[in-house]
């Protein structure tokens, strides 16, 4: 099938990153563009949130100092981070944040315009802010309004299945209609992949159900991946997917395990004794599992997962006090005691304390049909964010020319990241990609010109018959959660790698769906399989060279325990085989900062373009 239409640049995805990429391209003068999305209302940004969903930015208030370089150092200190990403994400922080403010995202400020901050995890300052529990939704909606006002086409209901490449890099994109399986092929010179995190590879996940991820698109096009072993996992409810951080833990609910015969136990107290309530309290602001806290609050994650792995179901019960508390608040450590005292919540049951401290947290569950006053809440330790992703350069271009990745699809983080920095990254990466594309479009004057030859694509033969794609996907996800989540076992991962590799190789022979209307399910399984294979490869490589993630963590770095990780794990594909290896990260750049030199440089660039510098819209 020959491409029917040419766009200079196609953005895939309608989350914070995708909308911003399109909006910025337009503002920079690149107008022959379109957004392709499998579902305008799908994805993480629009459908997720948390107790206080955080946006991380440069400090913009008060008397405490902060600087671009200090913020860059914080991001770099997460370990496994490239210097150019840390610096760009810091340097663009204010510009991106203020643009969201201008677009109407309700970040709170005082009467003089200071955006007060609070401290988040891995944050040495108070750089975090929030527009409430649904910050990313407000961001998406504000950016969508801006895109709609500009008349940028959004091609809704199309699943991108293949990035087409020629000798010069990207030359097209192939899609299928998610309802009919009807193919559509477009010619383009650039694709910005804003497909979000690879949520579809885990069973235990707190990503919204509408988020699948499409990292496999980049793998298939030949792009390298970075740090695919680095994820964030934490305790979340499963019937309605929501992170149980903040007050959900600080009110000290009971953790109960129920075996297949219906017998109930308070397993945290059994394992941790009287310090159990204090560990639960700490989970409030130490939400993600952290190997370094495996002897501290992360014991809670390990114990929850252990119960589930032995076949029990685990719940949070807010209706009664946990063992070890039994109304004796004096048995609490000073941190938990003082917090509850200052909050006026040294009384009653967990649900009564939650009502006092954060009644919205109860209403949220009620809105999803769960009554925390009466029923226990089923939980698991769930994947929440992939710190790794598609490997990109300083302009967020992948190793394939014309293919860019931004937002969670891009791999710009490493081992740790400050809470909220993912949302900053959705804005910075998409802007950097748009700027690079706009620069090249201006130099080549090719934006409106169709390529001489339109690319062609032929859909692979899909087997129709007794469907097995859904079952294969369920099995893959369950296996990934069993062997390759926050508590990993290397032998299990190696065996799973062989099985997933087999599925990838024999995909066409193994997988069948009912008919063309299930083509989207077929391609989503393919994407999940090649993404899981790459993830396992990175995890095995990292386990064997750096240390196994989880309770059995053994740090094998030379001089281990002394500072941030200075390497990252790269994963490459070559003729059907996948290989991961450890590579040093780049140092923090030391670029020109002399004003007169930068002014001269800016004049020369404008002259070369034959124009005066154009103000940003
Ligand atoms: C519970 C939870 C809480 C979080 N809290 C925070 C927080 O407090 N602070 C923070 O910084 N981050 C947080 N995050 C992470 C953050 O929300 C995400 O990293 C971010 O929203 C991702 O935005 P994105 O634009 O990259 O992708 P998404 O918003 O996921 O958008 C991806 C888009 O791509 C589309 N798409 C995917 N594949 C295809 C395809 N093949 N064809 C067509 N369309 C496709 C999807 O439908 C969707 O529209 C949280 C995440 C979760 C799950």
CA–CA gap between residue 601 and residue 533 (Å, rounded): 45
Mean pLDDT, range 215-229, rounded to an integer: 97
Mean pLDDT, range 160-189, rounded to an integer: 97
The per-residue pLDDT for 554 is 47
Higher pLDDT, 303 or 611: 303
> Contact at 8 Å (CB) between 299 and 271?
yes
Confidence of residue 444 (pLDDT cuts 50, 70, 90): confident
Return the residue whose CA atom lies nearest to atom 10 of ligand 1.
420
Query: What is the domain partition of the chain in residue ranges?
Result: 234-383, 463-584
Residue 567: CB within 6 Å of ligand 1? no
- Torsion (CA) 423, 427, 433, 439 in degrees, nearest 10: -160
Asked if residue 556 has pLDDT above 70, the reply is no
Higher pLDDT, 325 or 136: 136
The per-residue pLDDT for 611 is 60
Asked if residue 311 has pLDDT above 70, the reply is yes
Mean pLDDT, range 159-179, rounded to an integer: 97
Residue 214: CB within 6 Å of ligand 1? yes
Confidence of residue 376 (pLDDT cuts 50, 70, 90): very high
Which range is least confidently modeled, 124-128, 138-142, 173-177, 523-527? 124-128
Higher pLDDT, 371 or 563: 371
Which range is least confidently modeled, 179-188, 471-480, 557-566? 557-566
Ligand 1 mutation pick, 181, 195, 285, 410, max ligand atoms within 8 A of CB: 195
The per-residue pLDDT for 609 is 75
The pLDDT tens digits of the residues spanning 565-604 come to: 899 999 999 888 999 999 999 999 999 999 999 999 999 9
CA–CA gap between residue 204 and residue 343 (Å, rounded): 33
Asked if residue 560 has pLDDT above 80, the reply is no
CA–CA gap between residue 352 and residue 44 (Å, rounded): 31
Contacts 24+ apart (CB under 8 A), 555-564: 564/76, 564/77, 564/78, 564/79, 564/80, 564/81, 564/414, 564/415
The pLDDT tens digits of the residues spanning 481-492 come to: 999 998 888 999
The per-residue pLDDT for 558 is 44
Nearest alpha-carbon partner for 57 in 139, 2, 112, 1: 139
CATH of domain 234-383: 3.90.700
User: What are the φ/ψ torsions at residue 246 (nearest 5 degrees)?
Assistant: 60, -135
Asked if residue 614 has pLDDT above 60, the reply is no
Distance 37 CA to ligand 1 centre (A): 13
Residue 304: CB within 6 Å of ligand 1? no
CATH of domain 463-584: 1.20.58.100
Asked if residue 498 has pLDDT above 50, the reply is yes
Mean pLDDT of the chain: 93
Which residue's structure tokens are 């053994």?
A: 554
The per-residue pLDDT for 548 is 62
Nearest alpha-carbon partner for 14 in 172, 184, 151, 137: 137
Residue 430: CB within 6 Å of ligand 1? no
Which range is least confidently modeled, 33-37, 338-342, 494-498, 556-560? 556-560
H-state helical runs in 359-468: 359-367, 421-444
CA–CA gap between residue 204 and residue 497 (Å, rounded): 19
The per-residue pLDDT for 327 is 67
pLDDT over 70, % of the chain: 96
The distance from CA 532 to its chain's CA centroid, rounded to whole angstroms, is 15
Return the residue whose CA atom lies nearest to atom 21 of ligand 1.
45
Distance 512 CA to ligand 1 centre (A): 29
Ligand 1 mutation pick, 147, 181, 186, 196, max ligand atoms within 8 A of CB: 196
Higher pLDDT, 442 or 43: 43
Mean pLDDT, range 105-116, rounded to an integer: 96
Ligand 1 mutation pick, 219, 420, 423, 424, max ligand atoms within 8 A of CB: 423
Distance 44 CA to ligand 1 centre (A): 3
Mean pLDDT, range 96-111, rounded to an integer: 97
Residue 184: CB within 6 Å of ligand 1? no
Distance 429 CA to ligand 1 centre (A): 14
Asked if residue 552 has pLDDT above 50, the reply is no
CA–CA gap between residue 171 and residue 156 (Å, rounded): 21
Q: Extract the tokens encoding 577.
A: 């085989």
CA–CA gap between residue 511 and residue 525 (Å, rounded): 9
Residue 223: exposed, middle, or buried by beta-carbon count in 10 A (0-12, 13-18, 19+)? buried
Q: Extract the tokens encoding 513.
A: 């769906």
Asked if residue 559 has pLDDT above 60, the reply is no
Q: Extract the tokens encoding 423.
A: 């949302």
Which range is least confidently modeled, 90-99, 187-196, 306-315, 545-554? 545-554
CA–CA gap between residue 425 and residue 429 (Å, rounded): 6
> Contact at 8 Å (CB) between 516 and 545?
no
Confidence of residue 547 (pLDDT cuts 50, 70, 90): confident
Distance 371 CA to ligand 1 centre (A): 28
Asked if residue 39 has pLDDT above 50, the reply is yes
Return the residue whose CA atom lies nearest to atom 27 of ligand 1.
196
The DSSP element (H or E) to which 179 belongs, if any, is: none
Among positive and negative, which fits the CA dihedral 10, 12, 15, 21? negative
Confidence of residue 450 (pLDDT cuts 50, 70, 90): confident
Count of beta carbons in the 10 Å neighbourhood of residue 369: 9
Nearest alpha-carbon partner for 241 in 121, 381, 375: 381
**Identical topology for domains 234-383 and 463-584:** no
């Amino acid at each position: 099938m020959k491409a029917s239409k040419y766009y200079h640049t196609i953005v895939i995805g309608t989350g914070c990153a995708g909308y911003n990429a399109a909006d910025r391209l337009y503002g920079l003068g690149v107008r022959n563009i379109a957004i392709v999305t499998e579902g305008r209302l799908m994805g993480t940004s629009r459908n997720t949130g948390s107790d206080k969903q955080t946006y991380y930015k440069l400090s913009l208030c008060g008397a405490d100092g902060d600087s671009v370089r200090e913020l860059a150092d914080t991001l770099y200190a997460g370990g496994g981070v490239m210097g150019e990403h840390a610096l760009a994400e810091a340097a663009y922080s204010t510009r991106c944040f203020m643009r969201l403010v201008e677009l109407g995202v309700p970040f709170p400020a005082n009467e003089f315009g200071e955006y007060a901050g609070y401290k988040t995890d891995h944050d040495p300052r108070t750089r975090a802010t929030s527009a409430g529990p649904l910050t990313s939704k407000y961001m998406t909606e504000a950016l969508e309004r801006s895109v709609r006002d500009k008349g940028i086409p959004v091609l809704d209901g199309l699943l991108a299945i293949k990035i087409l490449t020629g000798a010069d890099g990207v030359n097209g994109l192939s899609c299928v209609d998610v309802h009919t399986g009807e193919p559509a092929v477009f010619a383009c010179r650039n694709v910005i992949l804003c497909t979000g995190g690879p949520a579809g590879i885990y069973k235990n996940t707190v990503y919204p159900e509408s988020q699948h991820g499409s990292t496999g698109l980049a793998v298939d096009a030949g792009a390298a991946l970075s740090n695919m072993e680095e994820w964030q996992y934490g305790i979340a409810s499963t019937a309605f997917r929501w992170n149980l951080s903040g007050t959900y833990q600080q009110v000290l609910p009971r953790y109960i395990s129920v075996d297949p015969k219906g017998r109930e136990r308070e397993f945290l107290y059994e394992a941790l004794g009287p310090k159990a309530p204090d560990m639960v309290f700490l989970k409030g602001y130490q939400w993600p599992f952290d190997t370094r806290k495996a002897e501290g609050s992360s014991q809670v994650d390990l114990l929850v997962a252990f119960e589930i792995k032995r076949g029990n179901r685990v719940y949070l019960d807010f209706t009664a006090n946990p063992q070890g508390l039994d109304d004796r608040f004096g048995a609490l450590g000073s941190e938990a005691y003082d917090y509850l005292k200052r909050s006026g919540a040294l009384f009653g049951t967990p649900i009564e304390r939650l009502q006092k401290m954060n009644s919205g947290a109860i209403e949220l569950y009620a809105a999803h049909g769960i009554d925390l006053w009466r029923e226990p809440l089923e939980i698991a330790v769930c994947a929440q964010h992939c710190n790794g992703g598609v490997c990109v350069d300083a302009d967020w271009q992948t190793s394939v020319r014309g293919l860019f990745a931004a937002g969670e699809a891009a791999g710009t983080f490493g081992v740790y990241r400050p809470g909220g920095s993912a949302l900053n990254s959705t804005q910075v990466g998409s802007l950097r990609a748009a700027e690079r594309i706009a620069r090249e479009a201006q130099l080549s004057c090719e934006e409106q010109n169709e390529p001489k030859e339109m690319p062609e694509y032929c859909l692979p033969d899909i087997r129709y018959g007794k469907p097995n794609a859904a079952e294969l996907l369920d099995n893959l996800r369950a296996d990934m959660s069993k062997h390759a989540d926050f508590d990993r076992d290397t032998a299990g991962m190696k065996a799973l790698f062989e099985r997933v590799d087999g599925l990838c190789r024999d995909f066409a022979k193994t997988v069948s769906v009912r008919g063309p209307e299930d083509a989207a399910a077929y391609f989503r399984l393919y994407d999940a399989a090649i993404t899981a294979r790459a993830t396992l490869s990175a995890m095995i490589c990292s386990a064997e060279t750096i240390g196994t993630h989880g309770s059995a963590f053994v740090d094998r770095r030379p001089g281990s325990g002394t500072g941030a990780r200075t390497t990252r794990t790269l994963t490459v594909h070559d003729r059907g085989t996948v290989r991961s290896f450890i590579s040093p990260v780049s140092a923090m750049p030391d670029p020109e900062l002399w004003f007169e030199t930068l002014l001269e440089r800016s004049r020369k660039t404008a002259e070369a373009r034959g124009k005066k510098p154009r103000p940003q819209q």
